Structure 1
Amino acid sequence: MSDIDGASDVVKVNGRTVSGFLGRIRYVCDGPTALVGAVDRLMRLAPYSGVGVQRGRGFGLVRLEPTWR
C-alpha cells in the first residue's frame, strides 16, 4: 500500500519565503519484474538527481528506507 504522511510547509530563509513538502511518501510497486526493476532504479537515483529546490541550503533531501515484505 502506498501512502503519504506529510504536508506542504512555508519557511523563511535569509529573508526569502520557501515552500515545500515535509514528510514521508511510501511507494509500493507490484507488477511485472521489468516494471518493478525500472521503478527501483529510478527510486535509487532520486537522492542524487537534485530533487527539490534550494539544495545548497539543505532542502530537497531524499532518503530511501528499505522495507521488507
Structure 2
Amino acid sequence: MAPVQEMSDARQALRAAEEVGAPVRASETYGRSRSLLEQAESSLSAGEFQAARRQAREARALAIEARIRAAE
C-alpha cells in the first residue's frame, strides 16, 4: 500500500519548518529533510513503497528537528 499518510505528514512538517525560517536558520537539517522527501517521491513513483515510507518518515523527523532548531 502506498505511504500516502507518511508523505502527507512529511510535507506538513516541512511547511511548518519553513514557517519558522528553517531554510535559513537550520539550513543543513532542512535541506536533508527536503532531499529525503524528494527521494520518497521518486521511490513512490517507482512503486517502491517500503523505501518511500522509510524516507518520508525520516524526512518528517528531520523537518521537525529543523523546525525546533529554527525556533530556538
More RCO (CA 8 Å, sep 6+): 2
Same fold judged by TM-score > 0.5?
no
More strand, by proportion: 1
More helix, by proportion: 2
What's the TM-score, normalizing by structure 2?
0.28
What's the TM-score, normalizing by structure 1?
0.29
